[in-house]
Homo-oligomer: A and B are copies of this chain.
Amino acid sequence: MIKVGIIGATGYAGGELVRLLKNHRDARIVWYGSKSYIDKKYYQVYQNMFRIVEDICRDDNLEELAEEADVIFTATPQGFLAGLLKEEILSKAKIVDLSADYRIKDVAVYEKWYGIEHKSPQFIPEAVYGLCELNRSQIMPATRLVANPGCYTTCSILTAYPLVKEGIIDADTLIIDAKSGTSGAGRGAKVQNLFCEVNENMKAYGVASHRHTPEIEEQLGYAAGRQLTLSFTPHLVPMNRGILVTEYASLHRKPDGSLPSYEEIRAVYERYYGKEHFVRLLEKNVCPETKWVEGSNYVDINFVIDERTGRIVMMGALDNLVKGAAGQAVQNMNLLFGLEESEGLDLVPCFP
């Protein structure tokens, strides 16, 4: 039985970790860390957990926690883990970090986009970017530190990855228009996230400046074999859960000037994802909908070729709290401990 500690257990991603781990046969939560609710019953923060979790919220003492846990999930603000991480912690417990602290290899890029100093860059090299479908082989029992990918980034990267990697699209033309439910904004009490401000409303935000941009660029850059610069625009949608990305790119034409066919592109996607448990390539002409993956660890992906413009429209959908956060974190934990990758994650999406 893996002993799990969660720092930030009372945020939305932390709450989802609790929900998933309660269904996990090989894991047991031993520490519900929460700066805001210390000594309060966890179920008093999340009444859905009444009669399911009896534990009390504890502080975020990483050192003490490392003594008690085999793995620590940090669902915390940027800079938190980087400010506390030490060799002795990592030597005692594995860490799956849901923040961005160790996702970006170039510390200067991190510091520029996040506007804070990175306090422990020495751990960046060993951190594995935990997008399991791409980096599975590096997430293994010997791994100590996993940088769990962001919600937008997981969806954005997986949707385009095979076509970038195989050079099917001109990666310099890649434009990602992303839409997210409001749980992605967290549980902080802000006027802009009040029901009456979000409901019946839609907007873009962080235009040309959202922090998930360099993360996507880095990972797709590895696929392209060179540095990429792309457009990423997030939008806030009046729903609780779900991310939908719509990605546009010009297709490389074949020597005869023709575009690759549906079947050819389908075959590329199949090659990469055909055997992936959590990636569902939808049938032709079925567009992903966030509702169809809600509550599950699936990413649904599909594409349409636009013969008129020579572009392809790629679409991906996932649940930002599951595959976009807690589900992927558990998937990483499973790999770290040599378990079946899907253990505890065979969640049937809930509709309606």
In angstroms, how far is the closest chain B Cβ from the Cβ of A297? 12
**Which residues of the other chain, B, contact A351 by a CB distance below 8 angstroms?**
15, 19, 46, 48
Decide if B240 touches A352 in the complex (CB within 8 Å).
Answer: yes
Decide if B199 touches A286 in the complex (CB within 8 Å).
Answer: no
Q: What separation, in Å, do the CA atoms of A61 and B308 have in the docked complex? A: 40
Q: Using a CB-CB cutoff of 8 Å, which residues 278-299 of chain A contact chain B?
A: 280, 282-283, 286-296
In angstroms, how far is the closest chain B Cβ from the Cβ of A285? 9
Number of chain copies forming the complex: 4
Q: What separation, in Å, do the CA atoms of A189 and B185 have in the docked complex? A: 14
CB-contact partner of A233 in B194, B288, B313, B348, under 8 A: B313
**Which residues of the other chain, B, contact A23 by a CB distance below 8 angstroms?**
346, 348
Q: Which residue of B lies closest to A288 (CB)?
A: B203
In angstroms, how far is the closest chain B Cβ from the Cβ of A247? 10
Decide if B287 touches A231 in the complex (CB within 8 Å).
Answer: no
Does A142 count as interface, using CB distance less than 8 angstroms? Answer: no
Does A1 count as interface, using CB distance less than 8 angstroms? Answer: no
Most chain B beta carbons < 10 A, residue from A49, A52, A231, A241? A231
Q: Using a CB-CB cutoff of 8 Å, which residues 233-276 of chain A contact chain B?
A: 233, 235, 237-242, 244, 246, 248
